[in-house]
Amino acid sequence: MRIDKLRTEFELDCRYHPFPLHPETPDVGRSLEELFGGRMDIPAAMAQLRKVADSLALPFGDRNHTYNSRLAQELGLWAAEQGEFAVYEQAVYRAYFVDGVNLAEPDQLIRFCAALSLDEAEAARILQEKTYAVALDAIWDRALASGIRAVPTLRCEGRELVGFQSMDACRQLITG
C-alpha cells in the first residue's frame, strides 16, 4: 500500500505481517452482504474506504465480495524470500481491491507471479505442496496472541490504530 509515503516522511521501520481476516471464507468467496449480514451500512463503509484510499492516492474498485486470502499470503512469504514482496503486495492489492480478483484461485496467483517475473512452476509447486502453510500459521498465531483482531492494525510506542485510516490519523499515531 502507500506506507512508503509514511516511511519517507517519518523514517519508519514498517513491517507487514499476514493476518487471518475471515479465514472461514470459502474459496468461492462471499458477498459483503452475506459477510456483514446487516451489521453495517456497506455502501457507507465502501464510501469511507474510497475516501481514505483517495486521500492516500490508492486505487479502489467497487467491491461487493470478499475472498479467502490464505494462498496469497502463503505465496507472499515466498515472494518475500525472493526479494519481491513489494511488487507482489502491490499486484495482490490491485487485483483484490481494484479488480475484484478471487485470490483463492491458484491460477490467478500464478499469473501474478509470471507477470512479476517470479518462477511460475515454483509458485505452482509451493501452492500445491503448501510449502509455507506452517510458517503462515505461526505468524497468524503470533498476531492473534498479541491481541490483533482486525486489519490493518498499526502499533507505535504503545498506541494502536485499527482499520483503514487517513494519513492524518497515521501521522497522529506516530507523533503521539
Summarize pLDDT for 69-120 with one digit per residue, the tens. Answer: 999 999 999 999 999 998 999 999 999 999 999 999 999 999 989 999 899 9
The CATH number linked to 119 is 3.40.30.10
Note whether residue 32 is domain-resident: yes
**Span 163-170, average pLDDT:** 83
> How does DSSP classify residue 174?
H
Note whether residue 166 is domain-resident: no
Note whether residue 136 is domain-resident: yes
Note whether residue 158 is domain-resident: no
What does the alpha-carbon distance between residue 137 and residue 54 come to, in Å, rounded to a whole number?
33
Summarize pLDDT for 6-55 with one digit per residue, the tens. Answer: 444 444 455 677 888 889 999 999 999 999 888 989 999 899 889 888 88
Counting the structural domains of the chain, the total is 1
What does the alpha-carbon distance between residue 62 and residue 40 come to, in Å, rounded to a whole number?
17
Note whether residue 84 is domain-resident: yes
Note whether residue 107 is domain-resident: yes
Pairing of strands 65-66, 153-156: unpaired
What's the predicted TM-score (pTM) here?
0.82
Strands (E), 108-152: none
Note whether residue 133 is domain-resident: yes
Note whether residue 129 is domain-resident: yes
Domain that holds residue 56: 22-144
Summarize pLDDT for 112-153 with one digit per residue, the tens. Answer: 899 998 999 999 999 999 999 999 999 999 889 989 988 888
